[in-house]
Amino acid sequence: MRRWIWPVMLSALVLVLGAGVMLTTLQPPKASASDIGGPFTLTDQHGRTVTEADLRGKPTLMFFGFTYCPDVCPTTLAHMSAWLKALGPDADRVNVVYVTIDPERDTRAALAAYLKPFDPRILGLTGTPAQIAQIAREYRVYYKKIPLEGGGYTMDHSAVIYGLDRHGQFDQTLSYEEPDAKAVATVKAMIGA
């Protein structure tokens, strides 16, 4: 009766090791800093066309989210508004950009209404689904539509703030949970204040 134990255990070990090799080979390669960022053409909450070239000349903080987000997005926007306030006059030396990952609902008007309670210097960007897919690819942003019971949907997405230098090149990331004092110090270093 014990004769079958060893072949079964050996088969199980081969399956586990094989699955481990398969999972390892299926993981996407990590992106380097030079792989993050690139060209885009979107529309801001005021109806103006904005490209990556329009952001050059100042460092940029860029966050991807959606207006129906229950917590991470409004919390991040509130923090970024506080950072701008803490910077005082130096706040005009940095771009703060909020890009929707839900263009189906986040029209220009919806973004304008959503951003109204936050610092008026925050630029909201939207576009067609193809335009949003392009910028998400360029910035290595994960997002996915998740259906809800009873209809409707929410969006799952990465929650990181991208820091770009004044030339539009990726420099660093900030966590959406970054302590305000640390984030303000980081932004001051980005702008040379």
CA distances from 9 to 14, 19, 54 (A): 9, 15, 62
Arithmetic mean of pLDDT over the chain: 86
Beta carbons within 10 angstroms of residue 151's beta carbon:
6
Is the pLDDT score of 190 beyond 50? yes
Q: Which CATH class is domain 36-191?
A: alpha beta
Longest CA–CA span in the chain (Å) reads 81
Residue pLDDT, tens place only, 2-53 = 454 444 444 443 333 343 333 333 333 344 566 798 999 999 999 999 999 9
Check the CA dihedral 184-42-100-121 and report its sign: positive
Across residues 111-115, what is the average pLDDT? 97
For residue range 45-91, what is the model confidence (pLDDT) as tens digits?
999 999 999 999 999 999 999 999 999 999 999 999 999 999 999 99
pTM of the predicted protein model? 0.81
Q: Alpha-carbon distance 29 to 22, whole Å?
A: 14
Tokens of 125: 């960007």
